[in-house]
């Protein structure tokens, strides 16, 4: 069974514009750059209705016409849902914001992070090509998503993670069927191992932007956000940026929606958020460069944004600049303060990367990069439950005398 209306036409090199056919699996273009999926938007415009699509109840798979999957048998499902936009008024006020601040809580997706969007698409497309074995470097959440969807579709998965990846992520991948390896290095070193083993192991590399379909899954964040906000985008989006697939994907989604007549030409200011201990995109942004140099000795507890070298650096920087936004780095202390504030003020648990976006919003407002009354959306990319939290419990002896006044 396949989807009656299919609009995916070709792939295109993000740097040279060279066209690639869609009937075989692809990694990078001949120029060594990411490939982008293209659709017949003109044809789609006359045939589909945004309201009808939004009314479907299938999570990010509802955007099927704007996705590359042809055959329904390739769709992998684990209970995908539209992630909520949660208003955080007390946190916003404490951060000095006077406008509406929303958290898009991606932790509600299968495997507890936004990686489910990209990997569900990558796995579905790999399945359509008959690929049986997938491999990737991961800081944790991507490997968890890949292993779950691969197992669901009867495929093998191999995950290479930095040795200090949170144990819960490593355990999650392994329990879901992946072969997991802890590597003495960073994520790009893990990526080099995936590339090195390709010929002998015969796996397909689903690293960030090294195949064209994870970005298509991530772009559904932009489609979903627009629909949730009544087809009007916010003033600013703060996005935790490692590989930057989601930021690039959303920017692509906004372009596609405008061509379909779903939204106007207005765009949010896009803020690429990094940690001070690993900020290659921020450094390139501030230097006016289009490519970012590798960040040496990267350090941050926000593992998802600890990416010393991003293959889509120029695409991230292009989107940030075109939108009038900025790349912003925040300190470890600011990340922890933000995480604590949102949990205590509004009862919402952010992951460290999500907390970094709150810290970055506060910093951007302080620096005049975005107005205090701006409508802002912060992306909480994963469930806060996956990360180490401070121990706040006090022992209480039920046999002894309880000093209630001291509580």
Whether 308 is covered by a domain: the verdict is yes
Give the pLDDT band (50/70/90) at residue 32. very high
Whether 30 is covered by a domain: the verdict is no
Rg, Å, the chain Cα set: 21
**Contact (CB, 8 A) for 186 and 306:** yes
Residue 16 main-chain phi, psi, to 5 deg: -100, -20
Give the pLDDT band (50/70/90) at residue 303. confident
140 Cβ neighbours under 8 A, 6+ residues apart: 161, 165, 166, 169, 170, 303, 304, 386
Whether 338 is covered by a domain: the verdict is yes
pLDDT 10s digits, 68-107: 999 999 999 999 999 999 999 999 999 999 999 999 999 9
Joined together, the tokens standing for residue 324 give 């009038």
Give the pLDDT band (50/70/90) at residue 1. very low
Please say if the pLDDT value at position 2 is more than 90.
no
Average pLDDT in the chain: 95
Whether 122 is covered by a domain: the verdict is no
Q: Which CATH number is 103's domain given?
A: 3.40.50.1100
SS3 of 165, please?
coil
What pLDDT is attached to residue 347? 97
Please say if the pLDDT value at position 4 is more than 70.
no
151 Cβ neighbours under 8 A, 6+ residues apart: 157, 176, 177, 178
DSSP string for residues in 223-279:
HHHHHHTTS---SEEEEE-SS-HHHHHHHHHHHHHHHTTSS-S--PEEEEEEETTB-
What is the count of structural domains for the chain?
1
pLDDT 10s digits, 183-232: 999 999 999 999 999 999 999 999 988 999 999 999 999 999 999 999 99
Any idea what DSSP says for residue 383?
Answer: B
The fraction of the chain above a pLDDT of 90, given in percent, is 95
Whether 333 is covered by a domain: the verdict is yes
Which residue matches tokens 């690293």?
Answer: 207
Q: How far is CA 368 from CA 162, 211, 303, in A?
A: 37, 37, 28
Please say if the pLDDT value at position 251 is more than 50.
yes
Please say if the pLDDT value at position 3 is more than 80.
no
pLDDT 10s digits, 112-146: 999 999 999 999 999 999 999 999 999 999 999 99
SS3 of 180, please?
strand
Joined together, the tokens standing for residue 70 give 């042809």
297: left (phi over 0), alpha (psi -120 to 50) or beta: left
Where are any strands of DSSP class E within 100-150?
A: 101-105, 133-137
What pLDDT is attached to residue 11? 98
Please say if the pLDDT value at position 294 is more than 90.
yes
Whether 90 is covered by a domain: the verdict is yes
Domain ranges, residue 297: 85-110+214-386
What pLDDT is attached to residue 263? 98
Taking each helix axis from N to C end, the angle separating 332-346 and 352-366, rounded to the nearest 10 degrees, works out to 100
Please say if the pLDDT value at position 393 is more than 50.
yes
363 Cβ neighbours under 8 A, 6+ residues apart: 328, 330, 334
97: left (phi over 0), alpha (psi -120 to 50) or beta: beta
Whether 218 is covered by a domain: the verdict is yes
What pLDDT is attached to residue 338? 97
Pairing of strands 8-13, 35-39: antiparallel
SS3 of 102, please?
strand
What pLDDT is attached to residue 209? 87
Give the pLDDT band (50/70/90) at residue 5. confident
Whether 319 is covered by a domain: the verdict is yes
Judge residue 136's burial from the number of C-beta atoms within 10 Å of its C-beta, 0-12 exposed, 13-18 middle, 19 or more buried. buried
Prediction pTM value: 0.95
229 Cβ neighbours under 8 A, 6+ residues apart: 85
């Amino acid at each position: 069974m396949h989807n009656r209306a299919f609009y995916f036409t070709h792939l295109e090199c993000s740097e040279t514009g060279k066209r690639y056919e869609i009937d075989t699996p692809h990694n990078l273009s001949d120029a060594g750059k990411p490939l982008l999926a293209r659709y017949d938007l003109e044809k789609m415009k006359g045939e589909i209705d945004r309201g009808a699509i939004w009314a479907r109840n299938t999570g990010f798979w509802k955007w099927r016409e704007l996705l590359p999957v042809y055959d329904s048998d390739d769709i992998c499902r684990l209970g995908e849902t539209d992630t909520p936009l949660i208003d955080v008024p007390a946190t916003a006020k404490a951060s000095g914001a006077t406008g509406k601040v929303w958290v898009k809580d991606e932790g509600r997706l299968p495997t507890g992070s936004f990686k489910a969007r990209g990997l569900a698409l990558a796995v579905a497309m790999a399945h359509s090509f008959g690929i049986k074995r997938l491999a990737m470097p991961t800081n944790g959440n991507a490997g968890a998503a890949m292993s779950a969807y691969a197992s669901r579709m009867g495929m093998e998965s191999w995950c290479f993670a930095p040795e200090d990846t949170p144990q819960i992520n490593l355990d999650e991948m392994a329990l879901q069927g992946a072969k997991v390896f802890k590597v003495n290095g960073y994520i790009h070193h893990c990526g080099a191992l995936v590339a090195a083993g390709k010929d002998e192991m015969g796996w397909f590399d689903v690293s960030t932007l090294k195949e064209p379909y994870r970005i298509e899954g991530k772009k559904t964040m932009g489609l979903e956000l627009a629909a949730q906000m009544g087809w009007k985008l916010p003033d600013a989006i703060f996005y935790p940026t490692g590989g930057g697939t989601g930021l690039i994907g959303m920017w692509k989604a906004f372009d596609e929606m405008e061509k379909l007549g779903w939204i106007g030409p207005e765009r949010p200011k896009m803020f690429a958020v990094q940690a001070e201990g690993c900020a290659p995109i921020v450094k390139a942004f501030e230097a006016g460069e289009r490519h970012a140099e590798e960040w040496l000795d990267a350090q941050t507890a926000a593992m998802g944004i600890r990416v010393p070298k991003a293959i889509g650096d120029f695409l991230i920087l292009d989107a940030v600049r075109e939108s009038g936004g900025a790349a912003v780095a925040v300190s470890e202390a600011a990340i922890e303060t933000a995480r604590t504030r949102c949990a205590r003020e509004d009862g919402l648990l952010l992951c460290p990367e999500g907390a970094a976006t709150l810290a970055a919003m506060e910093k951007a407002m302080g620096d005049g990069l975005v107005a205090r009354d701006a409508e802002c959306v912060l992306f909480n990319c994963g469930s806060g439950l996956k990360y180490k939290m401070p121990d706040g419990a006090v022992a209480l002896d039920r046999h002894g005398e309880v000093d209630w006044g001291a509580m």
